[in-house]
Amino acid sequence: MYKAFFNLTRNPFDLTPDPTCFVPTRRHNEALVALHYGIRRHKGFVVLTGEVGTGKTLLLRCLIGLLKGSKDVAYAYLFNGRLSPTEFLQYILSDFGLPTSGKNKSDLLFDLGQFLISRGSRKMTTVLIVDEAHLLSADLLEEIRLLSNLETDDDKLLQIVLVGQPELDEKLDSVGLRQLKQRIAVRTQLGSLDADETNRYIHQRLQIAGGNLCSTPLFSTQTISAVYRHSRGLPRLINTICENALITAYARQLPTIPPDVIEDVAKEFRLNVVCSPEFEKSEGSNELDAQRITNLLHELYTALRRPIAGEADLGAAITVEAGKHEPYI
């Protein structure tokens, strides 16, 4: 819509993780090198974590692009970990091109083992990439750890890449997953961009989209400073702000994007709204509150079950009859 107006050949700030739009920063380069090294050197477990919007999935797409260029590499890519252990095995075997219909868990494990041994004997690399790994249950993470037992005396047959938000770090720090944590050979993190990186990121995305850097810049220094302030250096938010700023400027027929447009976009997207700690505390304490309510109901029920002292002339106690739902209280 606005490409012709701004003399661009493509949308520069699409949210889709397109490797052709990858703008390398120091952190992203280090993370990509670490992931590639861990896989090609058969280190076993490799972990990448980063906050929401730091570019983890885009980095994975770049990694997969590198792996596709090697004829000796096969990979399975799992992007949704809401699976049972059996469904998980069915998914990855299917992604490796192995049949799974009518097979139970032991059959699937046997077939996977034979597949890995066959490839390992030919010095080939097999990779399991798990995106959104912070959503994996402890049971499924343990299942993944057990897959790493498929190894020879001198080599790991399956290279496992876990990618997720900082909650993945918290899970891996738990006592129940200490065996998995100790097996991690390469670990790296992604963070936000700093002010200089944000400036270079915006200019390079515009250049990739055909923008003329020799002419008057679409985003002035003051405008980019406003983008950085509202995005906090998160690439996804930078894309969102800049994309909508271009749309707004086009609608207003502005040749460049002034800082006030960024302020308007940030307001529309409520980027100045911070989640209330009280709300987070309330959300986190739901289970505790439910337990307290249960305890109170139990105490009330117990009190009602005790004999109630009658009038003196009755000479007997009156008890409260239990309802038909008593077994469920």
pTM of the predicted model, to two decimals? Answer: 0.81
Q: Give dist(CA 32, CA 172) in Å, integer.
A: 21
**Alpha-carbon dihedral sign for residues 291, 293, 295, 301:** negative
User: What ranges in the chain are assigned the alpha helix state H?
Assistant: 26-40, 56-68, 85-95, 105-121, 138-147, 166-172, 178-182, 195-208, 221-231, 235-251, 259-268, 277-284, 286-305
pLDDT of residue 213: 72
pLDDT of residue 114: 96
Contact between 199 and 206 (Cβ < 8 Å):
no
pLDDT of residue 329: 35
Residue segments in the chain with a per-residue pLDDT below the cut of 70:
214, 274-329
